Chains A and B, each alone.
Chain A
Amino acid sequence: MALLGNSGKHKNILLIVEILILLFFIILNIVPIFWGVLTSFKNPRDIAAFPPKIINFTPVIDHYITVIKGGIFKAMVVSIQNSASTILFGTLLAAVSAFGFDRYKFTGRKFLFFCVILGIPLSVGSSALLIPNYLYMITIGLTNKIYTLPLLYITYNLPMAIWILKGNIESIPISIDESAKIEGCSDMYIFFHLILPLTKPALAASALFLFIGSWNEFVTSSVMVDSPHLRPIQLSIYNYLGFFGREWGPLTAAATLAIIPIIIIFAFLSKLLISGLTQGSVKE
């Protein structure tokens, strides 16, 4: 963009405009969180105040107490359970599948792998599949169980996890397996003791996708579980919307609690997230 400027002065103005535009985008990305967190600590009078109060207010934790009394911790525990089981079984299934796809030849391998990759865009469109999935889950009696949501979250994020891990196992030289074979190691030993330790970053990237996918999911949970003790955090927040209406204090407090784990994990693992996202579209 700076190339357009001929004179030095012209250049400077352009640079300032450029920086302002970019600053605007940076602000746009974080302003909802910033404003939400701020609102969650204000008393109702400060929330409604004009000009808006940025620092000149006394923080209160009333809204947090309200949502805690409303059972938000219970919902967080449900979400933690869902995420933990999704991550655990999801990465295990993904690693085993990726190993199978990469290191063995079998009839239909290509077709089956095609189906796995097909699962990536399919799960992006999973809400179109919500009606059939719901009727189907009802028919086989799997709705409203403690394992209902983990089962679906594992499935929705498994294709991506398999793909990330397959890409990584691919890059481990096959000679490692072969020499271990000659030494008399079993296939399972090779998998658990040689391959898995070498795929740690990819395992973490897959786990990250499984975590984000299960922690943030809402639409599926809104139809697949009904019992209050099975409601995860996003569903609870949605229900608060109906319950608290326009009381933004409790709503933003609940929202703040829900994004804390995501932001913490994102802060440490954003590089892994990017490497997973760009898999299959950029040659490394």
Chain B
Amino acid sequence: MHRRINLGLILITPGFVFIFMFLIFPIFYALGLSFFNTNYLQVEGFAGFGNYIRILLREETANSIGRGLLMSIIAAGFTMFIGFWLAYWVNSRSGIMAMSLQLVGLVPWVMSMVVGALLWKWILAGDLGLLNHLFRTLGLPLVNAFGNKVSSMTSLIFVVSWRTIGYSMVMLLAGMKTVPQELIEAAMMDGAGILKQIFHVILPLIKTPLLVSGITVLMSNINNVTVPMVLTGGGPVNATNVVALELYRMGFVNSQYGMASALAALVIIINVFLIAGYMRVVKWHF
């Protein structure tokens, strides 16, 4: 392995420059900028913690963070739970259902979020949507999926989970395939019921894919701007204005870049915990 010392460094430099310049460095740039006053795009002097105080005094800051976390955690929990059962089922079967479930499972994940959210908006929205057609056929009262706080948030959580269920299923299924069938059979012989098998045999053995996919889904939800933007636009009023969307609006609609950098720094702190978790569980060592 030990060849010329510098060639390896030369080979990794171009790729690394990209990652450093556009992924790692901007974090520090944001942290720095959050301590300055900005007027549109001009930096106008040191602000200390001014931006932080200003965003913390806004009621919408805490509210949007709360909404963002609520939406992300519920959606991720839902995704992991359903993803687990689908994977469990597919793993124990073969045949056309298992095949098609695997095949279509990733479709929502490879579809762009703009298109996914747009198509669901069309299904859920108004009297002409497919959902209300279905309810009308079944004789149920019609729903207004984006009409009130609760229904709007429910729709958002639904679409956000819909997007990631297939991904978690694929990840967990790959993990389950490595669990030796004899272990499960041995547990069954010992009289372990289905829940015991899951909690004492399967879950401990698929810990890595479980945590990797769980953290990835949670992160992708917290940082999801597109789905709330297309599906609900944050409304009604601010009911689905999650923190990622609030951040986007503060910066790109209201041009309050100093404050937005401070809010970005807060969101980055949330992300740092999740990234640290990811780096701990993922198997990256040489």
Among B8, B23, B125, B162, the residue within 8 A (CB) of A100 is B8
Complex interface: chain A residues within 8 A of B144 (CB): none
Size range of the chain B interface in the assembly: 35 or more
Q: Knowing A252-B122, A277-B167 are in contact, say whether A237-B115 is a contact too (CB < 8 A).
A: yes
| Nearest opposing residue in chain B for A93, CB measure | B15
**Contact residues of A: prevailing secondary structure:** helix
Among the stretches B56-64, B73-81, B145-153, B277-285, the one at the interface with A is B277-285
Instruction: Assess whether A16 is interfacial by the CB under 8 Å rule.
Output: no
Name the CB-closest residue of A to B159: A32
Partner of A96, one of B11, B21, B136, B257: B11
Q: Does B100 contact A (CB under 8 A)?
A: yes
Return the contact of A105 from the options B5, B97, B219, B282 (Cβ within 8 A).
B5
Q: Is the CB of A281 within 8 A of B23?
A: no
The CB with the most chain B CB atoms within 10 A, among A152, A215, A219, is that of: A219
A28-B162, A122-B23, A238-B230 known; A35 vs B171 contact (CB < 8 Å): no
> Do A159 and B283 touch (CB < 8 A)?
no
What's the minimum C-beta distance from A26 to chain B, rounded to whole angstroms?
6
CB distance from B51 to the nearest CB of A (A): 12
Cβ of A164 under 8 Å from chain B: no
Q: Choose one: A4, A35, A104, A218; the contact of B112 (CB below 8 Å).
A: A218
The reply on A172 being an interface residue by CB < 8 A is no
Q: Is the CB of B23 within 8 A of A123?
A: yes
A98 to chain B, nearest CB (A): 9
Residue ranges of A at the interface with B (Cβ–Cβ < 8 Å): 1, 3-4, 18-19, 22-23, 25-26, 28-33, 35-36, 39, 47-48, 50-52, 93-94, 96-97, 99-107, 109-110, 112-136, 138, 151-152, 154-156, 158-159, 162-163, 170, 174, 187, 212, 215-219, 222-223, 234, 237-238, 241, 246, 248, 251-252, 255, 258-259, 262-263, 266, 270, 273-274, 277-278, 280-283
Excluding A126-B23, A128-B223, A278-B175, 11 further A-B contacts by CB distance (< 8 Å) are A51-B133, A94-B15, A105-B5, A121-B274, A122-B23, A122-B271, A128-B222, A133-B26, A159-B19, A219-B248, A281-B212
